[in-house]
């Protein structure tokens, strides 16, 4: 299901944080939202998962204005893994993931065998089957993050929104999570700080700076030395990853001389 943001503006207090941003995510596409700290990425995501009503513009999923949908219907269509630390639930891991089924049930409905099957499948997809009966509060930060991803998958959304989902994850689980996202064939909007991960796993990128859209397009068209110098204030050498052949970036501080010669063998 296609997501469209049209000329969206968002304020925090009296300050304009996001200004006139237009963004499109095609059905089944992974779009990355990138930019330095304070560029407005998380604020823009909040207008999508209905935590912050935009002061200008429109957010639509398919043909429906997301802000006009009843809350339960919106929750059936949009799942989120937020950047904030996972709350300290006094439940087991399985019970936390079961919360993702809430939009699909009536007020007093019990869990069904189908719900249980969906929860088990979601835990399997994030490699946490063995943790189902563990107390959520006893998990590491990375494990809690994976539980929150499983909860979002149990929601069976049309759109998945993730704000820095690789935070707190080790390298293995970062790659495993992003491989999982690619396999889902869902419409996905994700913020990432790691530009090499963004280049490797996103179909298209939108680059924000100071709340405004600077560039959009395929990773190789957005992650250019000129744009990265302008927005991130770093220099970069662009190469091809030796295995994936995707865009790969090596960073160094501005004005530092760099040699591309092979290193001396000691």
Residue 153: name the closest of 113, 116, 183, 122 by CA: 122
Query: Mean pLDDT, consecutive 10-residue segments, the chain of 266 residues?
Result: 96 94 97 96 96 97 95 94 74 94 81 92 93 93 89 96 90 90 92 96 97 96 95 93 89 70 44
In a 13 Å sphere around the CA of 223, the CA atoms on its Cβ side amount to 29
Is 262 contained in some domain?
no
Is residue 81 domain-resident? yes
Percent of the chain with pLDDT over 70: 94
For the record, the structure tokens of 94 come out as 């399985």
CATH at 233 = 3.40.50.300
Please tell me the predicted confidence (pLDDT) of residue 265. Answer: 41
How would you classify the pairing of strands 212-217 and 204-209? antiparallel
Domain assignment of residue 258, yes or no: no
Helices (H) and strands (E) in the chain, counts: 9, 12
Question: Is there a domain that residue 265 lies in?
Answer: no
Q: Does 249 fall in a domain? A: yes
Q: Which domain holds residue 207?
A: 3-253
Say what the pTM is: 0.90
Q: What is the pLDDT of residues 156-177, one digit of tens each?
A: 999 999 999 988 888 998 998 9
Task: Read off the pLDDT of residues 10-50 as tens digits, 9 standing for 90 and up.
Answer: 999 999 999 999 999 999 999 999 999 999 999 999 999 99
Give the count of domains, the chain: 1
Within a domain: residue 214? yes
87 is a domain residue: yes
Residue 255 confidence (pLDDT): 74
Predicted local distance difference test score (pLDDT) of residue 258: 53
Residue 263 lies in a domain: no
Summary mean pLDDT of the chain: 91
């Amino acid at each position: 299901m296609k997501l469209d943001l049209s000329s969206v503006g968002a304020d925090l207090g009296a300050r304009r944080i996001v200004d006139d941003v237009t963004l499109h995510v095609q059905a089944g596409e992974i779009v990355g939202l990138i930019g330095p700290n304070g560029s407005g990425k998380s604020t823009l995501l909040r207008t999508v998962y209905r935590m912050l009503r935009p002061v200008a513009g429109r957010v639509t999923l398919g043909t429906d204005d997301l802000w006009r949908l009843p809350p339960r219907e919106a929750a059936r269509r949009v799942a989120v893994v937020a950047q904030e630390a996972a709350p300290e639930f006094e439940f087991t891991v399985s019970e936390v993931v079961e919360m993702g089924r809430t939009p699909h049930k009536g007020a007093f409905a019990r869990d069904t065998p189908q719900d249980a099957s969906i929860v088990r499948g979601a835990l399997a997809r994030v490699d946490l089957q063995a943790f189902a009966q563990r107390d959520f509060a006893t998990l590491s930060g990375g494990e809690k993050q994976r539980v929150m991803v499983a909860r979002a998958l149990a929601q069976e959304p049309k759109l998945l929104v993730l704000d820095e989902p690789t935070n707190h994850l080790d390298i293995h689980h970062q790659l495993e999570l992003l491989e999982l996202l690619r396999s889902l064939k869902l419409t996905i909007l994700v913020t990432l700080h790691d530009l090499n991960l963004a280049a490797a796993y996103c179909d298209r990128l939108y680059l924000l700076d100071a709340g405004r859209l600077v560039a959009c397009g395929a990773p190789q068209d957005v992650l250019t030395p000129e744009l990265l110098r302008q927005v991130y204030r770093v220099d970069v050498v662009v190469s091809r990853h030796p295995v994936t052949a995707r865009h790969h970036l090596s960073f160094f501080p501005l004005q530092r001389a760099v040699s591309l010669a092979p290193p001396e063998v000691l």
